[in-house]
Amino acid sequence: MLNRRCWTATAATLVLTAAALVHPGTGMAAPDAVSARATAPVTLAADETALIRVELRDEAHFRELLADGADIANRPRQQDGRILADLVLTGRQLAALTAQGAVARQVVQREGDGARRYADSVRAAQARTSKGLRAPAEGRGVAVAAVDTLHFLQSYWWTSNGKTFLQTQVATTAAEDPDVEITVTWRTADGTTGSFPLARFSDAGEYQYHFSVPQAVPARPTQVTATSSLGGTARPSTPAKWPNATPPALPEGYQKDFIDAYLTPVDVQSRIRRLARQYPELVDVIDLPHQTQGYRRTAAGYLGDPAAAAVVVESVKFGAQNMNGVQVRTVDPGRANRPLSASYRDRVLTVSLATDGAGTTISTTDQVAAFISARYPQQFSAFVEDGSAGLPMPIAGPVRLDDGLKGSEVPKKPWTVQALRIGAHRDGSRIGVLAYSQEHAREWATPLVTLEFAERLLANAGTDPATRELLDSVDVFVIPTVNPDGANYSFHDANFQRKNLVNHCTGAQRDPANRDSWGVDVNRNYTVGSLFDGYTGASTNCLSGTYAGTAELSEAESRNVIALAKAHTNIKFAMNVHSYGGYFMWPPGAYQADGRITLPRPTIDESKMFLDSARRIVGAISTERGTVTWPSQTGPVADVLYSAAGNSADQLYYELGILAWDFEVGNDLWNDATGEWEGVGFQPPFDEAHAESQEYAAGLIELLRVAKDHAAAQ
């Protein structure tokens, strides 16, 4: 633990071994140029937290981070022979990584950026409203006898914003050789050629393939070949166009762009009420059955000096239940041979320390903590601060207990999560589609996607025949914010909060210094392929970012998603919207690490359905601003991201028979000046979040078309 902030793991064991060669004559930088690429220095104060793209020392370095429980935002990327990982780090942690040979390449987001970006987005929205405007929419050089065979698993090209990209995956039969290097050579119609190296990708100790991030090429590639350092070759392949699907053109006058600012859960709740009032013939609001804890925490304080000797005193009730501001103190009774005693009156807890025959106080920290907990079990609990065990209890206080919550406008009571039900026939007679978002609190752009989607359906129902046909054919369910408590905390207290606010920690882990690490990862709390079933990708540590909770469905937030799906058996399609990184995924989402045994694979027909639908939806997303989700990041969760034990899509698919997908919005952006793919983060500047809302809402509209076509074919 560094600075009392624990590492929290969000990925299963992924292993990347970077190919060392960048070949000349390809238009790419040579190795020395790559290593010397100018990078602005990254500075971070010791106690500051930021989301940083870090170039790691080597494969072993990444495995060390996983073992230590680092907060890894998404699957590491390989670029120009380097391993790049997005990590949430304090300044101390960054300094430690740098000392170990890592290099910080990009500050994706600083912790304070979230509040500023939220405020900026609100101010910009107000300005637009006041003006009556809407938001802007070759090898080692030595001949050797071939000892392996290569095969292209993927070979795709696409254009985005005027540039052409190529991405490939190649498998070698020399799967057990970690030193195999594979090079892909491409050719265009005019005879231009180039090449690039691939990186070995292993997962849970099992070789998968060699791959690279998308490579910029001058024109459409007409042929690719692959060779290995062992002399192996692959049959030449003609890259296929990706995704090669285009949605129907929007009619003149089609209304979109309803997102003006980041939205807190309070804002989301207000918009749900407005849509219900505005479109009563098309909207029902469903109050989900399990109230969350609410934006509430117990009140706590340090009685004494944590650097010397202290006891943590915590209220049993939440701070908002008249416990914020309660004072606690220790006193010297001023008399000899007095026992340890206490009184609690007028919101002040006074602990009178025991004395010996000379009148000297003799109570220890352990004795005081145990005494408070035993004497006032309905009001307080107490434990010894780490490092203070057995020390003399000082005269201290009064200290005021406080829940530490800063969101003054957020209701301090249990929260009712709400869903929108949208359609012309909301009676179960039509195929149902569920879109839900913000299981992870810090993913601020995700409710913008689902609300823009809902607004488009409703606003165009009266004027666009295609929209009306969708609403006549499909029963739509939308949960914009699954995890409102964590989201409120992310907006007001700690931008990088991932989990909910339920604190299952006990003992010293309840130290207020750990407050930003408490909670349960809602998307690790479901029942299929869970940690409790032996699957990988979740934690039993209550301070981990992937803490799975005390049991399957222990949390109200996860129970709500499943309750809605079970109550409406016509739901046959679902999309879980997350951020960031640009992924399009489906089950299986988890595996057992020993042997990398995944949950059962979908049938051949279902797998084709998943992929064909993905092409359509990725094509719809790209119509907004040219964003293309990479083919390497399109597929089963366990294959293209990592094992996520106990995720919601697996339960919806395996238990309830729902075809369930996952978005990760916020695709990396290509920087033509540097030749780098750059991350956007969980809370990008609002213009980026706004763009994500527009393109992924278009993807959700296409999902409705997929569902409509599926129902018509039955």
Retrieve residue 623's tokens: 């119509």
Burial per residue of 163-192, b for 16 or more beta-carbon CB atoms within 10 angstroms, e otherwise: ebbbbbbbbbebeeeeebbbbbbbbbeeee
Burial class (CB in 10 A: 0-12, 13-18, 19+), 249: exposed
Peptide bond into 484 cis (omega under 30): no
DSSP letters along 510-530, please? G-GGGGGG-S--GGG-SSTT-
664 is annotated as an active-site residue: yes
Question: What type of residue is 72?
Answer: I
Query: Residue 110 is inside which H or E element, if any?
Result: strand 103-110
The Cα–Cα gap between 637 and 643 comes to: 7
Query: What's the CA gap between 545 and 497, in Å, rounded?
Result: 9
Q: Which of 622, 529, 531 is nearest to 582 (CA)?
A: 622
The span from the CA of 511 to the CA of 314, in Å, is 9
Separation CA 46–CA 1 (nearest Å)? 14
DSSP H stretches of helix in 376-525: 445-460, 465-473, 484-492
For 409, other C-beta atoms within 10 Å of its C-beta total 9
To which residue do tokens 């071994």 refer? 17
| Helix 686-713 vs helix 113-131: crossing angle, to nearest 10 | 80
Interhelix angle 465-473/686-713, nearest 10 degrees: 60
Name the active-site residue from 385, 664, 676, 702: 664
> Which residues are designated catalytic?
664
